[in-house]
Structure 1
Amino acid sequence: MNRSPAKNVGRLILDYRSRTQTVNRPCDVFINHRGVDTKRSVAGLLYNHLTRLRLHPFLDSKSMKPGDKLFEKIDSAIRNCKVGVAVFSPHYCESYFCLHELALIMETKRKVIPIFCDVKPSELRVMDYGICPAKDLQRFSWALEEAKHTVGLTFDSLTGDWSDLVATASDSVIRNLIEVEEEQRYRLWKMVELLLPPEMEDRCCVSEMFSLCLYQRNKKGRELVREKEKQPGEREGVAVLGFGKREVRFFFLNSPFEQ
């Protein structure tokens, strides 16, 4: 059945808005994988499943467009994600990009869910072909050992069930995302208590505002946390952040929250 011109235009507008919102929103989950092994299997299936759950995963072939700078786009996605999924496969360690992504995930202390697909952890090792700087080899080896000693999932493509793997991996992602959100909630709330003036007694109101700030991913809230973490030795949060208590209170009570 043919659609009317008005409906077609409306659909195009909605599609454009959807794509625009997706591009501007930081990713929740970064899927680190070896394309030749798993892009058309577990990595692609997991990406599609997480997207249907209304999460925002990052997969290079799905999340990047022509003209994007590889390292710039990927590094930014890793630094802004909350959970990393590392899909290890037989040819994983042959890729500089895979190992670089894994090292950055580990260096930024993201939660990592390893998936060992058709490969055992003991079979994974960084190979020196004489073209990789010694510093990178050290980073990659360290990151790989960290991943190998993290509880993950194992899968044999000859005997395993793909749907079970995707479902189990998705459940693990969701559990880890909840843990990260709770950790951020605790840290932000402690900072709010430090910055708000003592005469502000309506803590229920503050708690509601704080929850909106956290769960709707207010950009300013994330910046406050990052700035606070840069000065772990400072006790007075106002001095560290450069905000007076009046400005901080105004922010939490009046700032527009992202929809």
Structure 2
Amino acid sequence: MTASELRDAFLLAGLFIPGEFRLVLTDADRLAAGGVIPHSAMPLPSLDAFGTSYFTERRELGVFNIGGPGIVRIGRDLYQLDRLDCLYIGAGNRNVSFEPDGEDPPVFYLVSCPAHHPRPAQLVLSTESESVLLGDTGHANCRRLRRYIHPGGAASCQLVMGLTELGPGGVWNTMPPHTHSRRSEVYLYFDIPQKEIVFHLLGEPSETRHVVVRDREAVISPPWSMHCGVGTAPYRFIWAMAGENQQFDDMDPMPEDTFR
């Protein structure tokens, strides 16, 4: 595949346009990813591609805020999301809307997957996420992993979602990489400084490829593909998975000596 073909197949760009809902439905475990930057209240639209009468009729939804303060309304309930807070929305919630909560607009990142039964909505503040430090300075991969939607946090049917932030001197994520043969995953890269980039590695170990990623762009990782990245500066990324199970460590490591 050429660079253009790789980008067309795996890169999700242009997800954040002020005043618009932008959503891409993938064939990777029916994951859908997108964003909205509301300047006033904006209801969550229904999509013909889902074959249902409203968005969450048979789907669950994870919402991350990577911008200014924002509000998500689910029916009569109101949830305030500051930067890096996350809201889980279970199936069966017909009336969902997004709005700003100040002059600095929120930037909501949305990931959705099929759900077999309703679960209650749950807000997870960034300070409440389950946090673990990984990596070391010698390998330039110091990073903090934060779990938000997972069996030990906000419970879901199959969606698992969290955030990883690189520490000082850290540029590598998920090294050594792995595959999830029973789950698909999407990485949203953000807080990449202007003029900096991330090289996201994908493919099979014997046939590695890369996609150049810029701020607020996402990459699809199907079950057969390794996934990791290296940046020209520190950055953050939101990872979201769906598939056969929710076991975080259910992965197949890819030793570096197998790369080609």
TM range, smaller chain: under 0.3
TM-score, length basis structure 2: 0.27
Between Structure 1 and Structure 2, the one with more strand by share is 2
> Whose helix fraction is larger, Structure 1's or Structure 2's?
1
Q: Which has the higher contact order (CA 8 A, sep 6+)?
A: 2
Q: What TM-score do you get using the length of structure 1 for normalisation?
A: 0.27
Bigger Rg over Cα: 1
